[in-house]
Amino acid sequence: MAFTANHLYFDDVAVGQEWESQGRTVTETDIVNFAGVSGDFNPIHVDREFAKTTPFRRPIAHGMLVMSIGIGLGTNSPPVRTVAFLGIRDWQFKGVVFAGDTIRARTKVLSKDLRGRGKRGEVAWLRALVNQEGKVVQEGVTVTLVECRPPAREGTEQESLE
């Protein structure tokens, strides 16, 4: 997918701005597929009978699955011209997610730092993943590199307005 006119540049976001994504329901199929892809077949995720013996009484979604879904939700909330994912800081798992739960990503710009001689900038985003009850199930900081708006060229409409 190419960037569209709706994708924001580094220059378009400000520290303190906030967004909330659409919801995404976690399914049993998601959990089984993630176990297959990751190799994490811990019985707390895939064995109903075992899960009955735990405090949760039923299988729970992998924490990394929920985190991955949340990262995906954040790619469009807001849609920005991301050129690289740089890292994750202080990520905390605060609650469990079951098949059938719907999560949303709440995003806030924490900081911005210009990089690459003004061609891109580093953005730190506070991400809170919340369930259908509004309870935070995971949260932390993600850091991305975002494209800056290209400088205006001579003779463009922007210069003629100044």
The CATH number covering residue 91 comes to 3.10.129.10
Residue 49 lies in a domain: yes
Under the banding of pLDDT at 50, 70 and 90, the label for residue 157 is low
> Structure pTM?
0.87
pLDDT for the residue numbered 97 = 98
* Six-digit token string for 31: 């959990």
Please give the helix or strand (H or E) that residue 18 lies within, else none: strand 18-20
pLDDT in tens, 82-117: 999 999 999 999 999 999 999 999 999 999 999 988
Q: What percent of the chain has pLDDT over 70?
A: 94
Under the banding of pLDDT at 50, 70 and 90, the label for residue 118 is confident
DSSP string, the chain: ----TTSBPGGG--TT-EEEPPPEE--HHHHHHHHHHH----HHHH-HHHHTTSTTSS----HHHHHHHHHHHHTBTTBB-EEEEEEEEEEEE-S---TT-EEEEEEEEEEEEEEGGGTEEEEEEEEEEE-TTS-EEEEEEEEEEEEPPPPPPTTSHHHHH-
pLDDT for the residue numbered 1 = 61
Residue 38 lies in a domain: yes
Residue 110 lies in a domain: yes
Residue 54 lies in a domain: yes
* Residue-averaged pLDDT of the chain: 93
Residue 158 lies in a domain: no
Range of the domain at 23: 10-150
Residue 4 lies in a domain: no
Average pLDDT over residues 121-147: 97
Under the banding of pLDDT at 50, 70 and 90, the label for residue 156 is low
Q: Is the N-terminal amide bond of 79 cis, ω within 30° of 0?
A: no
Residue 157 lies in a domain: no
| Cα separation, 96 vs 58, whole angstroms | 11
Query: How many independent structural domains does the chain possess?
Result: 1
Residue 36 lies in a domain: yes
